[in-house]
């Protein structure tokens, strides 16, 4: 049984490496191969919360407003976000993702889809059904 678990470990490591490689390809496509996991996390938060202001982002991430301002300034230079003035209150700015920012925020999901495409290309329909059934059983 230990041999099978070790083999399973190797198989999953390979799958995670493929996913990681796909994520890196997406970041490289955006010209941001050196983006950090933390930065990706912030972009995902902005993407998930829609109308997010500096104050709201500071609260969500448990950071100070100056820290958020510094981070957003970096994201603006990276062309991942832009500021949009609130139509109701000129003092309020929303943080919006650019197309590049959206691509990065969704990179993990896209990378996972690329892994699934590779699996679908490698397996026949019966094997795919079996894989789905087995994965459903453990999730």
Mind listing the pLDDT tens digit for each residue in 25-80?
Answer: 888 888 887 888 889 999 999 999 988 999 999 999 999 999 999 999 999 999 99
- Nearest by Cα to 80 from 62, 107, 98: 98
Residue 84: is its pLDDT beyond 90? yes
Band of pLDDT at residue 5, cut at 50, 70 and 90? confident
Q: What does the mean pLDDT of the chain come to?
A: 90
Average pLDDT of the residues in 95-117: 91
pTM of the prediction?
0.76
**Phi-psi category of residue 91: left, alpha or beta, with phi > 0 → left and psi -120 to 50 → alpha:** alpha
pLDDT at 83: 95
User: Distance (Å, rounded) from C-alpha 36 to C-alpha 33?
Assistant: 9
Query: Would you place residue 139 in the very low, low, confident or very high pLDDT band (cuts 50, 70, 90)?
Result: confident
Environment class of 24 (CB within 10 Å of its CB; exposed 0-12, middle 13-18, buried 19+): middle
CATH class, range 34-138: mainly alpha
Q: Computed from CA positions of residues 132, 120, 123, 1, in that sequence, does the dihedral angle turn out positive or negative?
A: negative
The two three-digit tokens of residue 61, written as one number: 């991430």
94: DSSP letter:
E
CB 108 within 8 A of CB 23: yes
- Our CA dihedral for 98, 104, 106, 112, rounded to 10 degrees, sits at 160
83's enclosing H/E stretch is strand 81-85
């Amino acid at each position: 049984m230990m041999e099978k678990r070790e083999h399973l470990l190797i198989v999953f490591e390979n799958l995670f490496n493929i996913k990681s490689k796909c994520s890196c390809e997406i970041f490289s496509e955006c010209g941001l191969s050196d983006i950090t996991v933390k930065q990706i996390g912030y972009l995902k938060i902005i993407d998930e919360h829609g109308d997010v202001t500096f104050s709201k982002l500071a609260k969500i991430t448990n950071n100070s407003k100056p820290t958020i301002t510094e981070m957003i300034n970096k994201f603006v230079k990276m062309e991942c976000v832009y500021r949009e003035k609130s139509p109701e209150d000129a003092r309020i700015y929303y943080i919006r993702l650019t197309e590049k920012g959206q691509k990065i925020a969704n990179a993990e999901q896209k990378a996972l889809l690329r892994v699934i495409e590779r699996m679908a290309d490698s397996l026949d329909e019966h094997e795919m059904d079996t894989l789905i059934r087995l994965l459903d059983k453990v999730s």
